[in-house]
Amino acid sequence: MTILRPRDKRLVGAWPIVSSIGPAFLLIAFQLLAAECMVADGWAQSTATIVASSLRGEVTGVNNNQVIIDNKSYQLISNIVITDERQQRRELKDLSIGEQVAFHLTNGVIDRLVVILPR
């Protein structure tokens, strides 16, 4: 394997900087490619991030445009994204009382809901 080295003496001092940036760039690129990012309705965020950083609770009721979690009623944004932990799309009608969910609130309205699958 051939390692390229700068031949110009003016670049010799910059070589350690260039060689240290390469692995960092590759690490960042790999993390971006490996992330489980999901784009739906113009809103992108990893399901794992939602589950880790969101509110959690148990579904205690479901209505047309709201869901009741731990006996507290929440409105749903019109283009709500509902998935399970495996990123399979779910519909509001598929939610069952007793299911565990993670959800994200924006101005008191749920804009993302993730169903926590039983273990």
Fold of 39-116: OB fold (Dihydrolipoamide Acetyltransferase, E2P) (2.40.50)
The verdict on pTM exceeding 0.85 is: no
d(CA 75, CA 92): 12
- Two structure tokens written together for 81: 């994204």
Q: Of all residues in the chain, what percent carry a pLDDT higher than 70?
A: 55
d(CA 77, CA 65): 8
Give the confidence band of 118 by pLDDT, cuts at 50, 70, 90: confident
Mean pLDDT, residues 85-114 taken together: 92
* Model pLDDT for residues 27-76, shown as the tens digit of each residue: 554 454 444 444 444 344 555 555 555 799 999 999 888 999 999 999 99
Q: Where are the domains of the chain?
A: 39-116
User: 67 by DSSP, 3-state: which?
Assistant: strand
**pLDDT value for 82:** 93
CA 76 to chain centroid: 19
C-alpha dihedral (60, 45, 43, 59), degrees to nearest 10:
0
The values of phi and psi at residue 70, to 5°, are 50, 45
